[in-house]
């Protein structure tokens, strides 16, 4: 297979984890007989520094010519209070490509149970997939800070088509897993969430073999810590999905472990680790590349339909962890491998 992949290293530790994941993808291409072409472009703080724009036109152009995008992370402390922020580039690129569904798998690895805040028996069988609506809701609704500085508002707005399309993604994903969908809302209080629940119920009529349950967001937050193994696929609004998937990330032992995929109607997608740019450890070789490596596996699975290759990467990560290979964040004070050394352990096991 021939494919073009745009790399967006971004800020902080982004360039480090992208460099290693690109090496991994090149290894996959070589060993499985594919031809991957890589283009690199800017997004985030580095793009503001160089062009004044967190998402330059050239980045969009290269993305449009690609089969998929693999991104590192965006964000720099110096822009925290600036009118133009690195994160604006991320919101814009999602909107530009119509990437309305964010998939975040969360899996607990037995060998890393000591790094999770829950007792080991609660982590047994934890393997869930968050499907987060990505281009609607309160993050994109009308907002205003009042001139007197004493009040402000943000608007939670959803339409039936927006909820329908992300619900279909969730049910299709559940059909390939354990056939259960948990829809998260706050329908007892919010009108937008009553529309959400009603629409998910309607979409469920097309998936009679899938079990559907509705859980209020506050109850879901509690259940993620008391019975996390009971979840299969969770579908949630933009804000609720953002918060809950970050909460669930600790079940894997470290935020650095988690990948994500942002998808639209077709095969094109943007893939990135869940973690941020971590500028405090940038350039020190301490970054955990697993989240980006597993994001590359998702790229192979969803955008290139290369399931065997995706599973090979995931198996190689598990094999590396099983032999005791650790990055600084999951070493527990013991010996640890640098970003490039851990990536090489994964490459060796492909």
**Would you name the residues annotated as active-site residues?**
139, 186, 218, 242, 246
State the chain's maximal CA–CA distance in angstroms.
63
Cβ pair 273, 17 in contact under 8 A: yes
User: Pairing between strand 35-40 and 2-10?
Assistant: parallel
DSSP SS3 for 318:
helix
Contact 10, 277 (CB under 8 A): yes
Q: What share of the chain is helix, strand, coil (3-state, %, to 5)?
A: 50, 20, 35
At 53, which helix (H) or strand (E)?
Answer: none
Q: What is the helix (H) or strand (E) element at residue 20, kind and residue range? A: helix 14-32
328: Cα separation from own chain's centroid: 21
| φ/ψ (deg, to 5) at 76 | -140, 140
Report the Cα 58 to chain-centroid distance in Å.
Answer: 24
């Amino acid at each position: 297979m021939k494919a073009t992949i745009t790399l967006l290293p971004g800020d902080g530790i982004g360039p480090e984890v992208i460099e290693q994941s690109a090496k991994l993808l090149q290894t996959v291409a070589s060993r499985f007989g594919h031809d991957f072409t890589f283009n690199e472009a800017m997004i985030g703080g580095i793009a503001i520094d160089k062009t004044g724009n967190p998402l330059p036109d050239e980045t969009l152009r290269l993305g449009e010519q690609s089969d998929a995008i693999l991104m590192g992370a965006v964000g720099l402390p110096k822009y925290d209070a600036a009118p133009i922020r690195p994160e604006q580039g991320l919101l814009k690129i999602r909107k530009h490509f119509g990437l309305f569904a964010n998939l975040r798998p969360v899996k607990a690895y037995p060998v890393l149970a000591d790094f999770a805040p829950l007792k080991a028996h609660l982590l047994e069988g934890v393997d869930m997939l968050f499907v987060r609506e990505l281009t609607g809701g309160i993050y994109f609704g009308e907002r205003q800070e009042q001139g007197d500085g004493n009040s402000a508002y943000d608007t939670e707005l959803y339409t039936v088509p927006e909820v329908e399309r992300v619900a279909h993604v969730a049910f299709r994903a559940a059909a390939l897993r354990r056939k259960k969908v948990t829809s998260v809302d706050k329908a007892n209080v919010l009108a937008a969430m009553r529309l959400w629940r009603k629409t998910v119920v309607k979409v469920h009529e097309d998936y009679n073999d899938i079990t559907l349950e509705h859980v209020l967001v506050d109850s879901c937050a509690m259940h993620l810590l008391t019975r996390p193994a009971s979840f299969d696929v969770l579908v949630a609004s933009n804000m609720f999905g953002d918060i809950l998937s970050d909460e669930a990330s600790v079940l894997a032992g470290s935020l650095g472990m988690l990948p994500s995929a942002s998808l639209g109607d077709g095969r094109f997608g943007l893939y990135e680790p869940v973690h941020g740019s971590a500028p405090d450890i940038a350039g020190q070789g301490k970054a955990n590349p697993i989240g980006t490596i597993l994001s590359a596996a998702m790229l192979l699975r969803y955008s290139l339909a290369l399931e065997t290759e995706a599973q090979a990467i995931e198996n190689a990560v598990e094999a590396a962890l099983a032999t005791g290979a650790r990055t600084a964040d999951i070493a527990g004070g013991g010996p640890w491998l640098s970003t490039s050394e851990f990536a090489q352990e994964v490459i060796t096991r492909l």
